[in-house]
């Protein structure tokens, strides 16, 4: 029992650390995409960095870039420090440091986190320095992949203890001598851990770079299979559903995990339906697009719903970002879409205009022809 408790404490400690790191990365991502000038970004990042460390109140941060330095509010120099270089196209443009009192030892994960932050700062400086302001769109992919790496660490740490909670509660539920109230409590534990497992699975899909089992897939078949579930719901909600599918003979097969592509379509369609509470038109189309440089197959989901502001659009692929009520959304639908399309080496384009509607276009690189 003691051993079990000790292990539990270790798990909890690790989970706490990974969560802090994730929050720190979120905060850095938020600051970077807030479109301020670079000096303000560096000052705010220096203030935010300590929150990701084991002892946030005892740690402080300093960033040097192009002979300028930026400190966190509580900065106190120490010889006990972690450092990571800010490299722009192999040129060292500066570095970022975290200082702590001598007694404190740093974790390996903290060095990884600092390296992640310095890489993010490098991309801030490199791509957009000349323009003085950030182009949030360019950074989006970098930011998401960093958050993906951190999410993978967090979910990995959470899966095992959660499997224990679920397994033991299900084992206890088999006991015929339970009182009704204990039985009811155990059922609640089981339900809550199944919910948490679902969230973890979605986060894993967001972070995963491997799509799993791949086959030759017809996008039109995926559309038919997925939409079968939505026909009556659309009719009930006064939504006209239009399919504009490319002719089978003109639509090359893609190499994909068909279950995951179906999941992508379902998530996009659910969002589109939720964006049209007073009805509207939902158009799903497939196309074979060939440009001089590449051939790809596209899947387009277009709605005439509420549309999104630029602020919302900038954040839609972030895990847990939602504008919906807690009962309606967890903010993981598009994070899952992003993870799946990324692992298929595809691209996602989004156009949206408030009051007019939204178009999601997914491009699959072509690997085989009929």
Q: How far is 21 from 111, CA to CA, in rounded Å? A: 11
HSE toward the beta carbon, residue 132, CA cutoff 13 A: 1
Which is closer to Mg ion, CB of 93 or CB of 262?
A: 262
Neighbours of 346 (CB within 10 A): 21
CA distances from 137 to 124, 314, 315 (A): 11, 7, 10
Q: How far is 11 from 275, CA to CA, in rounded Å? A: 40
Which is closer to ligand ATP, CB of 207 or CB of 308?
A: 308
The binding track of 281-320 with respect to Mg ion, each residue x by CB under 5 A or -, is ----------------------------------------
Which is closer to Mg ion, CB of 122 or CB of 271?
A: 271
DSSP state of 245: P
Output the smallest distance, CB 352 to ligand ATP, in A: 6
Which is closer to ligand ATP, CB of 189 or CB of 359?
A: 359
Interface residues with ligand ATP (CB under 6 A) are 267, 271-272, 275, 303, 305-308, 312, 316, 321-324, 329-335, 358
Which is closer to ligand ATP, CB of 259 or CB of 329?
A: 329
Output the smallest distance, CB 272 to ligand ATP, in A: 5
The binding track of 242-271 with respect to Mg ion, each residue x by CB under 5 A or -, is -----------------------------x
Output the smallest distance, CB 20 to Mg ion, in A: 27
Q: Which residue is nearest to ligand ATP (CB)?
A: 333
**Conformational region of residue 85, where left means phi above 0, alpha means psi within -120 to 50, and beta covers everything else:** beta
Which is closer to Mg ion, CB of 254 or CB of 313?
A: 313
HSE toward the beta carbon, residue 159, CA cutoff 13 A: 12
Applying the rule CB under 5 A, the residues between 73 and 102 that interact with Mg ion are none
Residue 323: partners with Cβ closer than 8 Å, 6 or more residues away:
312, 329
Residue 233: partners with Cβ closer than 8 Å, 6 or more residues away:
273
Output the smallest distance, CB 42 to Mg ion, in A: 35
Which is closer to ligand ATP, CB of 98 or CB of 337?
A: 337
HEC per residue, 42-111: HHHHHHHHHHHCCCCCCCEEEEEECCEEEECCCCCCCCCEEEEEEEECCEEEEEEEEECCCCCCCCHHHH
Which is closer to ligand ATP, CB of 295 or CB of 323?
A: 323
**Cα–chain-centroid distance for residue 215?**
25
Q: Which residue is nearest to Mg ion (CB)?
A: 333
Neighbours of 294 (CB within 10 A): 10
Applying the rule CB under 5 A, the residues between 175 and 204 that interact with Mg ion are none
Closest by CA to 307, choosing from 272, 255, 259, is 272
Output the smallest distance, CB 233 to ligand ATP, in A: 15
Applying the rule CB under 5 A, the residues between 323 and 352 that interact with Mg ion are 333
Q: Are strands 239-244 and 280-290 parallel, antiparallel or unpaired?
A: parallel
56 binds, among Mg ion, ligand ATP, none (CB under 5 to 8 A by kind): none
316 binds, among Mg ion, ligand ATP, none (CB under 5 to 8 A by kind): ligand ATP
Which is closer to ligand ATP, CB of 99 or CB of 262?
A: 262
Output the smallest distance, CB 217 to Mg ion, in A: 23
Tell me if 323 sits within 8 A of 343, measured CB to CB: no
Output the smallest distance, CB 268 to Mg ion, in A: 8
Output the smallest distance, CB 350 to ligand ATP, in A: 8
Contact status: 72 vs Mg ion (CB under 5 A): no
Footprint on this chain of Mg ion (rule: CB under 5 A): 271, 333
């Amino acid at each position: 029992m003691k051993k079990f408790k000790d292990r539990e404490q270790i798990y909890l400690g690790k989970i706490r650390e990974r969560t802090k790191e994730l929050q720190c990365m979120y905060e850095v991502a938020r600051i970077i995409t807030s479109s301020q000038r670079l000096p303000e970004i560096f000052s705010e990042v220096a203030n935010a960095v300590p929150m990701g460390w084991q002892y946030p109140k005892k740690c402080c941060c300093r960033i040097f870039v192009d002979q300028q330095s930026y400190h966190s509010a509580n900065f106190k120099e120490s010889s006990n420090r972690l450092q990571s270089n800010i490299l722009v196209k192999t040129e060292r443009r500066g570095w970022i440091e975290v200082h702590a009192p001598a007694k404190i030892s740093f974790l390996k994960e903290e060095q990884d986190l600092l390296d992640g932050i310095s890489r993010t700062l490098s991309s801030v400086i490199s791509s957009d320095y000349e323009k003085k302001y950030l182009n949030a769109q360019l950074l989006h992919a970098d930011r998401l992949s960093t958050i993906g790496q951190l999410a993978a660490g967090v979910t990995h740490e959470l899966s095992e203890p959660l499997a224990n909670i679920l397994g033991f509660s299900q084992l206890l539920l088999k006991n015929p001598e339970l009182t009704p109230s204990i039985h009811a409590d155990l059922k609640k534990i089981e339900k809550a851990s199944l919910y948490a497992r679902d969230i973890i699975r979605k986060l894993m899909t967001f972070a995963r770079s491997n799509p799993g089992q791949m086959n030759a897939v017809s996008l039109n078949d995926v559309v038919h299979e997925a939409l079968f579930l939505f026909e009556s719901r659309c009719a009930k909600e006064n939504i006209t559903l239009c399919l504009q599918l490319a002719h089978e003979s003109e639509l090359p097969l893609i190499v994909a995990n068909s279950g995951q592509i179906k999941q992508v379509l379902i998530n996009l369609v659910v969002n589109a339906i939720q964006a049209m509470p007073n009805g509207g038109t939902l158009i799903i189309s497939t196309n074979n697009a060939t440009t001089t440089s590449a051939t790809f197959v596209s899947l387009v989901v277009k709605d005439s719903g509420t549309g999104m502001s630029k602020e919302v659009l900038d954040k839609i692929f972030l895990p847990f970002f939602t504008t919906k009520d807690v009962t309606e959304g967890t903010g993981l639908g598009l994070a899952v879409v992003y993870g799946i399309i990324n692992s298929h080496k595809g691209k996602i384009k989004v156009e949206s205009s408030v009051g007019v509607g939204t178009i999601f276009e997914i491009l699959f690189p072509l690997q085989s022809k009929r």
